[in-house]
Amino acid sequence: KKEFERALLVGEDAALTHHALAELSLVMGRFGAARAEYGELLREQPTQARFCTEHGVALTLVGDLPAAAESYPTALRPDPRVA
């Protein structure tokens, strides 16, 4: 975790680093931290399907089922920029 935080400080790719932190938080059982990291990612890339899906997982694991239910459909919407 410290290496990823250091990467942010030295100007490494923020999206890639936040995604790594989010995934690390999920596997470590730090679901609230994962939710926060995915929230950060989605502020910049609100239609990114992978982030929406993983955010939904984090929301489910912290017990916020209504928010998770909103996140999953966003992941299923096609993004014309990716076509």
Average pLDDT over residues 55-83: 85
Give the pair of three-digit tokens for residue 74.
């966003």
Task: Quote the strand ranges of the chain, DSSP E.
Answer: none
The pLDDT value given to residue 83: 53
pTM summary value: 0.80
Is residue 41 within 8 A of residue 18, CB to CB? The reply is: yes
When comparing pLDDT for 83 and 55, which is higher? 55
The pLDDT value given to residue 80: 66
* Helix runs in the chain, H state only: 2-9, 14-27, 31-44, 49-61, 65-76
Phi, then psi, of 15 in degrees rounded to 5: -65, -45
The pLDDT of residue 37 is above 80:
yes
